[in-house]
Structure 1
């Protein structure tokens, strides 16, 4: 039996694939488009499948017969700008999840499925007492992205209740670390800072609103939590994946600037600001920790150091390629 991972174009997908038993099981990584070369791993079978097409999804599961499925599609998108119209985003998430769950029900009804959701579904909360979000808090989505993942969680309830499908939900809070796409706030800032350090570029970076507070984890700690939930998570249950600690985005960007040793100014670009931004988003990891014994192993500072170092290597490789062309 194989292991199937959707959303392998994301850096979370890449780090998750690194943790899976490549020598013991066939690992199938699924995405609509091939992943970039730096995110491809030897020993993984990559395939392009459109999950919004039920025939393609059914055929994929019929051919691969996975015993474990990690559904990471939501992690491919920047929360502020998904690049999709709301109607297309809802179709991709909801129809894709429905087709995957239904095909699994028909083809591999005993497969363990992990759906990776987002803490964005908590919205802004209802007051001070709701600041640290627990899994029992109601969904109050403020964006199409949040509505899409909240709707997918409802599909999980339907399939676990009506058909006894074996599905677990992981709610992801902030994630960063090496190989993150530059469309996300911290990786974007790191890329701009590294470009200034390497190539004496403009001495300012451009960001959206930095005066928001988030609960961040290193991507490798996050990937470990996903593996543990597939092994130990209870069917139909939801688990926050977070640190329980909060930092402002401004503080984290300032830390990235300190790594460069260059005098760099932060400039706010209104075009980069989200139309709807949640001022504070922090969760409790107690349920996950109690069940699995998981805890973060990589500090946020080390995560940002690794992100910055990897982005400098990435930029240097891109620069060499451009010069050769």
Structure 2
């Protein structure tokens, strides 16, 4: 794609973990203008370091909207006029989706349709990344491991069902309208700025609170037997950058994930081993258990790695250490945080 001026990228969910790290990556490795979608009430913690650039209109621009509001999405896309689109925004917590299924389905399925319809209307030649999820595969029998792109969908939560819709909507716009839209099913990815509703970040936050004397030395947990493949978020956003720049193919769909495989309990043991407090105990909290769980999340990523040449570089141990240090830093500045 040739450009007389620097390309523009539109990132929905800019203030999330992935969106903020993607902005950092693109600012460091490209000359692109970064246009981000956020709700007017979105916390700015994850992009706090970018606020001076926003104020100076230095390559970072904010657009306010909501995936549930068609007019705001249309206005934001028309204003940004992007060459590249990363649709990352979503109601992304599987556990929350059990108590808020309608909101999850509307935000994730219809929200994706609103974004793609606006891009189709205003920038039909943009290269688009639609972020689905490994959760679409859900309950996978062991004989189908590792999970490849053609594995049957068996979603295990309203969130996962919504991401099946997201996946199909993304591919539909490529096939029906010839858009260069691609779908990814990203497996577990984490690191600094990870939301505290997700297991590894919740554990790291609790450990940091224990170290600061805010909690007794007991970590509340859910299902520790679930098998996961972990990837650092900073490797994940490099993969996303390569997705849209290395011979992008409209309608393509890829599994992306790390190479470190372990049970959730092993991940917790790693974090506890990094703590400055000894004798930390573990206690199952029934509220942290899902009615059903996608418990075997092991991807076959060859389709993506062979197409792009991408491979992860950040070791699991550094990811966990950086995640724990992130929470230590947050709580040192403000100890008034929820225990969850």
2:17 is equivalent to residue 11 of structure 1: yes
The Cα of 1:216 is off from its aligned counterpart by 1.0
SS in 1 for 2:149: coil
Counterpart position of 1:208? 222
- Cα distance change of structure 1 residues 107 and 308 upon mapping to structure 2, 3 Å threshold: same
SS in 2 for 1:199: coil
SS in 2 for 1:215: strand
Of 241, 260, 266 in structure 2, the residue corresponding to residue 227 of structure 1 is: 241
Tell me the distance in 2 between the aligned counterparts of 1:292 and 1:158.
23
Unaligned 5+ segments in structure 1 are none
Tell me the distance in 2 between the aligned counterparts of 1:195 and 1:29.
32
CA contact (8 A) 1:243 1:284 kept: no
Tell me the distance in 2 between the aligned counterparts of 1:217 and 1:26.
27
The Cα of 1:201 is off from its aligned counterpart by 3.5
Counterpart position of 1:24? 31
Which contiguous aligned blocks of 4+ residues in structure 1 show a shift greater than 3 angstroms?
A: none
Counterpart position of 1:114? 129
Tell me the distance in 2 between the aligned counterparts of 1:273 and 1:157.
32
CA contact (8 A) 1:160 1:166 kept: yes
Counterpart position of 1:199? 213
Please give the root-mean-square deviation of Cα atoms over the aligned residues, in Å. 1.8
Unaligned 5+ segments in structure 2 are 1-6, 54-59
Counterpart position of 2:4? none
Tell me the distance in 2 between the aligned counterparts of 1:173 and 1:128.
17
Counterpart position of 2:313? 297
Of 175, 179, 182 in structure 1, the residue corresponding to residue 193 of structure 2 is: 179
Q: TM-score, normalised by structure 2?
A: 0.89
The Cα of 1:155 is off from its aligned counterpart by 1.2
SS in 1 for 2:273: helix
Q: TM-score, normalised by structure 1?
A: 0.93
Alignment length, in residue pairs?
A: 319
CA contact (8 A) 1:132 1:244 kept: no
The Cα of 1:83 is off from its aligned counterpart by 8.0
Tell me the distance in 2 between the aligned counterparts of 1:66 and 1:6.
12
Tell me the distance in 2 between the aligned counterparts of 1:128 and 1:256.
27
CA contact (8 A) 1:11 1:39 kept: no
SS in 1 for 2:294: coil
Counterpart position of 2:299? 283
> CA deviation digits over 1:10-56, x for unaligned, max 9?
11111111011378332111122333334331432222202222222
Counterpart position of 2:43? 35
